[in-house]
Chains A and B, each alone.
Chain A
Amino acid sequence: MADTEILSGPAVVPTPAPDVEPAQAPDLSGWSCPLPLRDHPRVVMGHGGGGAMSAELVENIFAPAFGGPVLAALGDSAVLELGGARLAFSTDSYVVRPLFFPGGSIGDLAVNGTVNDLAMSGARAVYLSCGFILEEGVEMAVVDRVARALGAAARTAGVEVVTGDTKVVEAGHGDGIYLNTAGIGLVPAGVDIRPQRAVPGDVVIVSGQIGLHGVAIMSVREGLEFGVEIQSDCAALGGLVDAMLAVAPDLHVLRDPTRGGLAAALNEIAVAAGVGVVVSERAVPVPPQVANACAVLGLDPMYVANEGKLVAFVPRGEADAVLAALRAHPLGAGAAVIGECVADHPGMVVARTAFGGTRVVDLPLGEQLPRIC
Chain B
Amino acid sequence: MCLAVPGRVTEIAERDGTRMAVMDFGGVVKDVCLEYLPDLRVGEYAIVHVGFALQRLDEESARRTLDLFAELGLLQEEFGDPWEAARVAEEAGP
Contact = CB atoms under 8 A, between A and B. Distances in A.
Interface of A: 226-229, 288-289, 291-293, 295-296, 298, 356, 371-373
Among all A-B residue pairs, the 8 with the closest Cβ atoms: A227-B29, A292-B26, A373-B1, A289-B27, A298-B3, A226-B30, A292-B28, A293-B28
A226 B27 CA distance: 10
Most chain A beta-carbon contacts within 10 A, residue among B5, B26, B27: B27
B25 A296 contact: yes
B91 interface: yes
Interface in B1-19: 1-3, 5
30 contacts: A226-B29, A226-B30, A227-B28, A228-B27, A229-B27, A288-B27, A289-B26, A289-B27, A292-B25, A292-B26, A292-B27, A292-B28, A293-B25, A293-B28, A295-B5, A295-B25, A295-B26, A296-B5, A296-B25, A296-B30, A298-B3, A356-B87, A356-B91, A371-B3, A372-B1, A372-B2, A372-B3, A372-B49, A373-B2, A373-B3
Nearest to A298: B3
A288 B26 contact: yes
A5 B27 CA distance: 50
B49 A296 contact: no
A356 B29 CA distance: 32
Contacts of B49: 372
B3 A226 contact: no
Contacts of B91: 356
B50 interface: yes
Nearest to A289: B27
Given A228-B27, A228-B28, A356-B91, 12 more contacts: A226-B28, A226-B30, A289-B27, A289-B28, A292-B25, A293-B25, A296-B5, A296-B25, A298-B3, A372-B49, A372-B50, A373-B1
Most chain B beta-carbon contacts within 10 A, residue among A291, A296, A356, A371: A296
Interface in B36-94: 49-50, 87, 91
A288 B24 CA distance: 13
A344 to B, nearest CB: 13
B49 to A, nearest CB: 7
B17 to A, nearest CB: 21
A202 to B, nearest CB: 15
B2 to A, nearest CB: 6
B12 to A, nearest CB: 16
Nearest to A340: B94
B50 to A, nearest CB: 6
Contacts of B26: 288-289, 291-292, 295
B37 to A, nearest CB: 18
A292 B91 CA distance: 28
Nearest to A294: B28
A291 B5 CA distance: 12
Nearest to B6: A295
Contacts of B87: 356
Contacts of B29: 226-228
B35 to A, nearest CB: 18
Most chain A beta-carbon contacts within 10 A, residue among B1, B5, B28, B49: B28
Nearest to A371: B3
Contacts of B50: 372
A289 B27 CA distance: 6
A296 B30 CA distance: 10
B79 to A, nearest CB: 21
A11 to B, nearest CB: 20
A227 B50 CA distance: 16
Contacts of B28: 226-228, 289, 292-293, 296
A272 B50 CA distance: 40
A298 B30 CA distance: 15
Nearest to B2: A373
Nearest to A219: B28
Contacts of A356: 87, 91
Contacts of B5: 295-296
Contacts of B3: 298, 371-373
B33 to A, nearest CB: 15
B84 to A, nearest CB: 10
A292 B87 CA distance: 30
